[in-house]
A and B are shown apart, each in its own frame.
Chain A
Amino acid sequence: MKNLFSFLIQYGVVFLFLFLEIISLALIAKNQDYHKSAFLTSSNAVVSTLYGWNNSVIEFFKLSAANDNLSEENTVLKNQIINLQNKLSTLQPQVSDSGLFLIPPEMEYQFISAKVINSSTNKIQNYITLNKGEADGIKVDMGVVSDEGVVGIVKTVSSKFSVVIPILNPKIQISCKFKRSNYTGPLVWSGEDYRYANLTDIARHVQLAMGDTLISSGLTSTFPEGVPVGIIEDFKIRPSDAYFNIKVKLAVNFRTLSHVKVINYLNYNEQKEIEKTTEE
């Protein structure tokens, strides 16, 4: 017994060291899970409050740029309204005889706007924290877009905050397709530059050109079809390869990201359910 105690005292520090390192490793391993608990991450109340304060200071300096963006968007929207009104007025007379037009489009998607209060672009696995959570209707697995294009997918939600996995994280792949040819493939980030990602699953017979636009495919229920993802910056293929190695310039600038919209797909549950029953 005496020997045991003296042994423990002599090597106590080493044991403590190993113990703490094992706890750290356990935390890292736990963090690899897709759905982790919201405790001890930046959706934690204390941390998000602090980030909220910090953000309100930084936000003040970004106001003028945000203003420019908003007014630009405003103009675009106003133009759209005018266009639609024009169309409406040309269509109206025909409604009475055919009844085919003016069927209200099904409201499948709803947007919840949110503000980015913390984000990184320089890690291998990056995350974005938003200032809205479950109380505002955000749920895990919802898609997130900005005015520029696809941002990422919601990973964790607390009552007031949520954490998003952006394209800049190898944990997710965004299914996207070419606007011109409709070929689809998964977009993956390589971990190097926050402006570019790679598309590796396009077969060699597909016709490509620099500057081709890439949009979300709509094949997953997370994003509606047609949200911009990026444009082709460069593509390479060696004679022995079956697939192109395509470098894509992302539509969203993750460094200046400040306002995003979370997509609420209203028929999500119904779609999942019917897909599940078919598989069984």
Chain B
Amino acid sequence: MLIVLQNIFRFVLLVLFQVLVLNNIQFLGYINPYIYILFILSLPYQTPRWFTLILAFLIGLTIDTFSNTMGMHAFASVMVAFLRTGIIKLFTAIEEGNNPIPSFHTFGVSAYIKYVVAMVVIHHATLFIMEAFSFSNFWIMSLKIIMSSTLTILLILGLQSLKTK
């Protein structure tokens, strides 16, 4: 029960932080971090996959509604939510029956960093490709993917390292 409340709280907090603060911060013109996917990253490992997908769709759609980008965030979020279990299995060895909440503490530092980097890069790449909808602005798009991913990764790792203490 506690964990449900915790996740609802995290959902609301991350959406508000994303749309009210981060969407207004535009470093150097086109770097915009999307930290809301920390919600998908931090769902407990054994959350049913269908439920993860629906939650990801919901948070994506919420962000879309606020930033007038109908469907793009929903698409990217559902994409990472689908790949999440596979990526966790790739980097960690979780014993059968355990249900850890992904963090530095439960995954180990290097596995968690790999997990965050993989998820964020996939999410941002999907998002910016959907946004451009073509490869005509390829270099601008790649630059946006790299810069924004870096910033999101740093923000997420920073936040998480504060939390473990």
Contact = CB atoms under 8 A, between A and B. Distances in A.
Given A13-B50, A163-B68, A20 B26 contact: no
A255 B75 CA distance: 28
Contacts of B137: 124, 191
Contact of A191 (B26, B61, B79, B140): B140
A127 B64 contact: no
Contact of A124 (B75, B78, B132): B132
Which among A20, A47, A125 has the greatest number of chain B C-beta atoms within 10 A? A20
Nearest to A13: B49
Nearest to B137: A191
Interface secondary structure of B, over-half rule? helix
Contact of B65 (A12, A13, A41, A255): A41
B90 to A, nearest CB: 18
A16 B82 CA distance: 10
A24 B74 contact: yes
Interface in B123-141: 130-133, 137, 140
A70 B26 CA distance: 27
A184 interface: no
A69 interface: no
B57 A20 contact: yes
B152 interface: no
Interface in B3-54: 19-20, 23-24, 26, 29-32, 49-50, 53-54
A87 B78 CA distance: 67
Interface residues of A, number: 39
A129 B88 CA distance: 40
Nearest to B148: A122
B71 A42 contact: no
B71 A31 contact: yes
B70 A28 contact: yes
Interface residues of B, number: 36
A206 interface: no
B45 to A, nearest CB: 15
Interface in A42-70: 42, 44, 47, 50-51, 54, 58
Contacts, number: 96
A21 interface: yes
Given A20-B57, A42-B68, A122 B75 contact: no
A17 interface: yes
Contacts of B72: 24, 28
B67 interface: yes
Interface string A24-41: 111111110000100011
A44 B61 CA distance: 13
A31 B131 CA distance: 12
Interface of A: 12-13, 16-17, 20-21, 23-31, 36, 40-42, 44, 47, 50-51, 54, 58, 120-125, 127, 129, 163, 191-194, 255
For the complex of A and B, list the 4 residue pairs with the smallest distance between their C-beta atoms, beginning with the closest: A27-B71, A24-B75, A28-B71, A31-B70
Given A36-B70, A54-B20, A120-B67, 20 more contacts: A12-B50, A16-B53, A16-B54, A20-B74, A21-B78, A24-B71, A25-B71, A28-B71, A30-B70, A31-B70, A40-B65, A51-B66, A120-B68, A121-B26, A122-B26, A122-B30, A123-B131, A127-B68, A193-B29, A194-B29
Interface of B: 19-20, 23-24, 26, 29-32, 49-50, 53-54, 57, 60-61, 64-72, 74-75, 78-79, 82, 130-133, 137, 140
